[in-house]
Amino acid sequence: MEIKLSVIIPCYNHGKYLYEALASIDQSIYREQIEVIIINDGSTDRNTNKVIDELNPDKYIIINQENQGLARSRNNGILKAQADYLLMLDADNFIEQIFLSDFFKLINQNINFDALYGNSLFFGMENKIYKPGYIDLYRLINGNYIDACAIYKKQKLFDVGMYDTNMPYMGWEDWDLWLRLAFNNSIIRHSDKIYFHYRVLADSMIRSHNEIVIKDAFQFIYKKYLINLNNVDQIIESYINKSISFKTLVKLALKKLKLNTNFKYKISKKTN
């Protein structure tokens, strides 16, 4: 049967959670149309290596590599994948079956999209339902609010350059990718359903970042995309081209004003 979805799971020392992530894929009624690629990113934890070594090679594709970081690990999985669509899943999280069901309904109905994401259920150090909402470029410029756990069209990821391996700090690759997708006219679909469970750990990469790291990451992103008020004007123009109402235009103008006056790290001044 044709492989229609490749699940890419980077794993660095999270072997104790990996079985739960895999189980959430293996129980799918669509399992025969799914391939699972696990990237062991130079794990130093003995149990993690044991868990991965004992996995059935006929059931999972295993990539063992020296530590290369999250961006390169995901890119290696993308390059290995057979399917036209890719699900990014962290080894310490797991998905709901409705995520896969919704995906297969879309492709079986020949509905075109470049990315599909939904809500998440936080557990562990924090317990809540997180609802990111629909894609909003104004909000995205202000900082990332969408998780990596999404299904992407592989060709679109190739078109935008996959994950940036030159990010100054790990943990910001997702924001960078969502910005590139948003700036490149991608068809991004959001569902108001819980698609995955997000494990909140005390030692997660983002939680360990201090104010200096955060500021450096923001400045890297703004310099990379030359984010300034010209960009913000282009966002409004793109909305206008879709024949928006006057009410929506006013809302966008207010968002622009708020972005300019209350920005966390100042946007570059408008250039001629």
CATH number of the domain encompassing residue 163: 3.90.550.10
Range of the domain at 235: 229-261
Q: Are residues 82 and 167 in the same domain?
A: yes
Helix boundaries (H) for the chain: 15-26, 46-53, 70-80, 97-108, 137-141, 154-160, 173-183, 211-225, 229-240, 246-261
Q: Is there a domain that residue 214 lies in? A: no
SS3 assignment for 37-58:
EEEEECCCCHHHHHHHHCCCCC
Q: Are residues 66 and 183 in the same domain?
A: yes
Q: Are residues 244 and 135 in the same domain?
A: no
End-to-end CA distance of the chain: give it in Å, rounded. 56
Domain count, the chain: 2
Q: Count of CB atoms within 10 A of residue 105's CB?
A: 10
Residue type at position 253: A
* pTM, two decimal places: 0.84
Residues in the chain: 272
Q: What is the pLDDT along the chain (272 residues), one digit of tens a residue?
A: 799 999 999 999 999 999 999 999 999 999 999 999 999 999 999 999 999 999 999 999 999 999 999 999 999 999 999 999 999 999 999 999 999 999 999 999 999 999 999 999 999 888 999 999 998 877 887 788 999 999 999 999 999 999 999 888 777 899 999 988 988 889 999 999 999 999 998 765 555 556 777 777 777 777 776 555 555 666 666 555 665 566 666 666 666 666 655 544 444 443 33
Q: Are residues 91 and 192 in the same domain?
A: yes
Residue 259, CB half-sphere, CA atoms under 13 Å: how many? 26
Q: Is there a domain that residue 130 lies in? A: yes
